Amino acid sequence: MNKLAVVALGGNALLRGDDKGTIEEQEKNTHDTLENLIYLIKEGYNLIIGHGNGPQVGNILMRNDAGTIMYDIPSMPLDICVADSQGGIGYMIERQLRNVLKDHGIKKDIITLVSQVIVDKDDEAFNNPTKRVGKIYPKVEADKLAKEKGWIFKQSPKVEDGWRRVVASPKPIDIFNIKSIENMARQGTIVIAAGGGGIPVYLDEDKNVKPLEAVIDKDFASALIASKINADEFYILTDVPYVFIDYNEPTQKALEFLDKKDAEKYLEEGKFGEGNMSPKIRACLQFIENGGSKSIITEATKLEDRSFGTKITKNYE
């Protein structure tokens, strides 16, 4: 039986730091990243792919703002913007992956799902929104929008009179259609799911599905899928070949192997950087704690060379 792996593509899979964000740039980056997944497919892995959407959903929100200001077009809520980005990015990944598979003579079905992910509407994250979304506004405009729309703003660390909307990033607890995702993947279909962390929803007292103004971390959502379907391995593809402790410090050290105990110790000591690698480590630990055998964090081009990448397991292998 083929192994089953969940692969979370980092933001740099689609947009690089110096890119303008054109469709040509995104398509090339996507194609180049997906080329590296051929190794796993040839090794006999069935795949589920998750992906980020940070820059893209930010652009959608800015188009929202421009349309409202210039043409009085009603703006769409954040859940619809996340759904828009899921569809657009999923389509781009699916199309580019079909081209990559064709070049390697591989025939596989690929399906993109617009995924709704269940969160707790009382998650403590809603008491302290931290995820920045959309454009940067001057304070006068930010105050006006806060009053009109009930949005919460925090000052940008990069712009003196810059304020940016922040929303909650609650933990994912479940995902709709998880059985279908697993069944399709185990039958050999490549499934693209929970893009951008999924659309955050909750169930009200009547069990109706309701949206929330929030964004979900794509690594936690991908780890949730991996745990729910008992995947063999969970991959996070990012822009570095290893996890480092004390990154960019004189004491920087690359970690090729990491067990649960040491990972938790380094997290507690703040060795990974809270806004950078720590969420990825926590997502990997979530998978391990729920029975997963191995999580790997690496750079996409290093995937085939098993000497690269940080392998996280319950105990040192």
Q: Which residues are catalytic?
A: 11-12, 131, 218, 280
Closest CA to 171 of 140, 204, 209, 197: 197
Structure token digits, residue 73 = 């077009």
CA distance 16 to 223: 24
Closest CA to 170 of 129, 225, 222: 129
User: How far is C-alpha 23 from the geometric centre of its chain's CA atoms?
Assistant: 20
Closest CA to 10 of 279, 274, 248, 258: 279
156 Cβ neighbours under 8 A, 6+ residues apart: 132, 136, 162, 163, 164
* 43 φ, ψ (degrees, to nearest 5): -80, 0
Structure token digits, residue 92 = 């781009």
- The DSSP line for 79-124 is HHHHHHHHHHHHHHHHHHHHHHHHHTT----EEE---EEEE-TT-G
Structure token digits, residue 215 = 């964004």
Structure token digits, residue 228 = 């729910």
